[in-house]
Structure 1
């Protein structure tokens, strides 16, 4: 099958799904398909109308096997950035995405869609894993900041960026247009909503000096809709507390704060049987939930998220669609057996539209 024929097949399947699910007349679909088919034959490409793009982005979220928050897929706000051509325009659009999604703490699920790949040539890449992320520095055999960011931090430094070498330095935005050299743009603290992490019952907890940003905006995945690939389509929901309290701040290969949290909370960690890690983990997550609520920033706990996922499953069953999923990602890292997801099974098969991982260009 030629590339043109494959694109026609993918485009037809997506457009048929769009017009069927949105309840539009068959004649409208047939007219649209005739135009798209002619466009593909003439150029080897076609452009989505905004309504198609919006639907495709939402269904990409609905099909995301690793996401527990899919109940809200219809609420995704789609920002059309396909007219962006320069790095400066791209960064302005990314700054707008951050402001819009933060919404003074009342977080709005948002995706910004930049120009698509045409005839195998990339139009744009965002090199950041997330638009907002903290740097990681190697010094004297230790790491300051986020160990997961060490490689990207080194790359940013090779471009000329310099951080302050603290545990929570905001990395710059790095954008590449076509085959041009990637360019970096600073992200200032006043541009990012951050939440200091305090404990509801312990004043000593604040001495750890922990904080995290409000909105997780994934920016290194590509979105595929009807055979068209968007290599730059940053998107966000809001955090589930375990992403911060049980992973980012707790994992040994991340900030590894459980021992220090246990110490300031007076939890005995002289032997594993005291279950000090479990106790510190729960208290860390309590602190994250407390802090985001106090700051007025949207967040969901893992039990509520599991209940919302059950409602999503019920909705999909009613619509006659199978719920696919990656069980290892859907179960929360704290008390997974207390959720129905732990006792369920899902086929981990990928449907499109969807989001897909891309190779990190700096590696």
Structure 2
């Protein structure tokens, strides 16, 4: 919808009517109770002719988000995509409101450990103005510091948000939660501290190795993807955070064991008494197996939903056999190069014409006030409203 080239915002474009028609025909085939597609197409063409865009019905939005989730491959085994909860918050475009509802998403998704798959959809790009965007790759990520402490994958992002006003804890640790960065065209990037009560973490211990807990490893319970844009029928929703639940190897292999992450494979191997002098001893493989065992054991013990990579492999093969061929008209999640770069380096801003503010991050108390304000007005899933 809003074209962005080399970090600079250009004039908005009107909706592609072919994409809109393709999606609406697909929707009406799946939902014949919605009425004649010809009538809906006539309404959409008239709306686009007047405004340059159109508004999905709540049912169209839910269907499109669920199809995008299903076809993206992000649905983990055991996840009934048809029952994904879609939070329709298309009226929300101010940074504080978006951040507050991201906190609410985390609360709802965590669900006491019984992870609840959710998608929260914020304001779309349109000729009247672009929607908000979230910089963070996932809503919860850990800081990385120049001295090697923490998660080195996010060292550049950490430096960027410190330059924007974020203050690391007085006693820096290996698992300091980074602030949420929400950017809007009219406010620029703003920082928000996530309240500790919605950052549910699982300490990692091993079922057979008592010394494992002394490594001090832990991980957050819910993987909420924050920086992918949702495209449905020619409409782009740049902020549409969504989650399922973790595959154990995403934590054990990719985050904890990997040398580009926490590099825990070698300390584990040394504690096991393995020969780490050569990769040919396969010490790394043996250490990674124990890390993955520890992750699955710890999440199960904490009663937090998780799946393993073997179950996921079977699920993914089934998905590959049955997936639809992608066309330009099918709903999908996309990761733009600029969004990927912002998630790792903390820039450049999506709207380069707006200088990044140097400001203190909003406190957890402020977010709590926002949540209480929203909860006072509604209960359960939110209906669309202005914010």
Please indicate the TM-score interval, normalised by the length of the shorter structure: 0.7 to 0.9
Q: Which residue of 2 aligns with 1:62?
A: 70
Select the residue among 144, 151, 154 that pairs with 1:146.
151
Question: Is the Cα–Cα contact under 8 Å of residues 130 and 218 in structure 1 kept in the other structure?
Answer: yes
- CA distance in 2 between partners of 1:191 and 1:159 (Å): 23
Gaps of 5+ in 1: 325-348
The answer to whether residue 43 in structure 2 is matched with residue 35 in structure 1 is yes
**RMSD of Structure 2 on Structure 1 (CA):** 2.2
State the match for 1:329 in structure 2: none
- Return the offset for 1:254: 1.0
Alpha carbons 1:136, 1:148 under 8 Å: kept: yes
Seen in structure 2, the aligned counterparts of structure 1 residues 70 and 21 have a Cα distance that, compared at 3 Å, is farther
- The 5-angstrom pairing of residues 38-57 of structure 1 reads 38-57=46-65
Q: Is the 8 A contact 1:205 1:265 kept in 2?
A: no
For residues 32 and 125 of structure 1, the distance between their equivalents in structure 2, rounded to whole angstroms, comes to: 29
Match of 1:101? Answer: 109
Match for residue 19 of structure 2? 10
Quote the residue 1:23 is aligned against. Answer: 32
Instruction: Report the Cα offset of residue 158 of structure 1.
Output: 1.1
The worse-fitting range, judged by mean Cα deviation, of 59-68 and 216-225 is 59-68
Unaligned stretches of 5+ in structure 2? 1-11, 349-387
Using the size of structure 1 for normalisation, the TM-score is 0.85
Residue by residue, what CA displacement relative to the aligned partner does 1:286-312 show, whole Å, maximum 9, x if unpaired?
Answer: 000000000000000011122333444
What is the distance in 2 between the residues matched to 1:115 and 1:11? 18
Aligned residues: 328
Aligned position for 2:223: 216
Residue 266 of structure 1: how far off its partner (Å): 2.8
Deviations 1:140-174 (A, max 9, x none): xxx21111111211111111111122110001111
Q: Distance in 2 between matches of 1:188 and 1:146?
A: 20
Q: Which has the higher contact order (CA 8 A, sep 6+)?
A: 2
User: Matches of 1:102 and 1:170 in 2, distance apart?
Assistant: 16
Give the drift of 1:264. 2.0
Matching of residues 335-354 of structure 1 within 5 Å: 352-354=330-332
- After superposition, the C-alpha distances for 1:202-243 in whole angstroms (9 at most, x for unaligned) are 111111100000001010111100000000000111000010
